[in-house]
Amino acid sequence: MSLIASPIPKWVQTKSINSSNLKKQQRLPLNPNFFLSISERKRSRPTRCSTVVSTEEQNAAIFDFKRYMEEKAARVNSALDAAVALREPRRIHESMRYSLLAGGKRVRPILCIAACELMGGAELTAMPAACAVEIIHTMSLIHDDLPCLDNDDFRRGKPTNHKVFGESVAVLAGDALLALAFEHVAASTRGASAERVVRAVAELGRCIGSEGLVGGQVADICSEGVATVGLEQLEYIHMHKTAALLEASVVMGAILGGGDEEAVERLRKFSQCIGLLFQVVDDILDVTKSSSELGKTAGKDLIADKTTYPKLIGVEKSRELAEELKKEAYNEISGFDPLRVAPLISLANYIAYRNN
């Protein structure tokens, strides 16, 4: 049965994230145990003085973000290389490694490590979970690029997995990576209690399942070519399809780092803001950058007749929304130790101002 022919699910509507700065809209409800309304968070969040945020920004400004990212990414790459060794059956492992080790900014695993270290945990404790989120991210890219979904020929400047290994092997490589992610967290995590490891595994499963990444992907497919898709449906898609895995990255790190419930929930809200921010910026880049600059096919959302933020509200309003989400992310983590939180502030800036 064609998913594209299926109607967009009719969710009951509540207040939209963007109603204050755009126009009065209503948004689709999200599972109250899954994502909270950002507008509700604004009402419920304790008032914090703006000088705290500016102090954190000052610390982020003197923080050597480039060096931090290079060093963390190098260690993540080494851990990923070890996690997916080249062994028999050789063909499937070649396919898995081809996409997993093809490069990338490693934002998700570094977010996981930074959240763990913010809570006082060690990088080594977070590393298996950090690898797991990147492994799942790679799985999602392999599957997204397939002809039955986005039908893309290039990813990270290289031919997509199915173009090199064939569709059948690409599908199975994604399946194998998904299974490996959960095995790796359960079997390789050290320095955290069994209870926290189980919580982290459950968090990962919830954020990528039918009410997370997969649910957002299905809603995205169902929305292609549908003229009535509005901001509320678009937010639903991106809070699930894109933001969910970023949320899992941060929350898993906070859990494994020993964070209490309040700290974990504050970081959850931060991750939801930067998750939606990531997609808004991605939509802007898709219509303002070339394929060579992006390392993937530019303008493919327009070709597929997908609803995007620039399509609905224009590029400038999309940039305003990105700035609002970045500020909201800052507010969610104000009050943490300024030096320890600097990596997360810098990562939020990086997501907001990246060029590919």
Least confident of 12-21, 223-232, 313-322: 12-21
Give the model's pLDDT for residue 70.
Answer: 96
Q: What is the mean pLDDT of the chain?
A: 83
Higher pLDDT, 97 or 298: 97
Is 84's pLDDT higher than 70? yes
Higher pLDDT, 135 or 300: 135
Give the model's pLDDT for residue 96.
Answer: 98
Give the model's pLDDT for residue 170.
Answer: 97
Side-chain half-sphere of 143: how many Cα atoms within 13 Å?
A: 18
For tokens 């507010």, what's the residue? Answer: 331
Q: Where do the structural domains in the chain lie, given as residue ranges? A: 65-353
The mean pLDDT value for 170-191 works out to 98
Burial 15-44, CB ≥16 within 10 A → b, else e = bbbbeeebeebebbebeeebbbbbbebeee
Confidence of residue 279 (pLDDT cuts 50, 70, 90): very high
Give the model's pLDDT for residue 150.
Answer: 85
**Which CATH fold topology does 65-353 show?**
Farnesyl Diphosphate Synthase (1.10.600)
> In the chain, what percentage of residues exceed pLDDT 90?
66
Give the model's pLDDT for residue 103.
Answer: 87
Whether the bond between 89 and the residue before it is cis, its omega within 30 degrees of 0, is: yes
**Model confidence over 16-42: pLDDT tens digits?**
344 333 333 333 333 333 333 333 333
For tokens 């968070």, what's the residue? Answer: 41
**Model confidence over 39-55: pLDDT tens digits?**
333 333 333 333 344 55
> In the chain, what percentage of residues exceed pLDDT 70?
78
Is 311's pLDDT higher than 70? yes
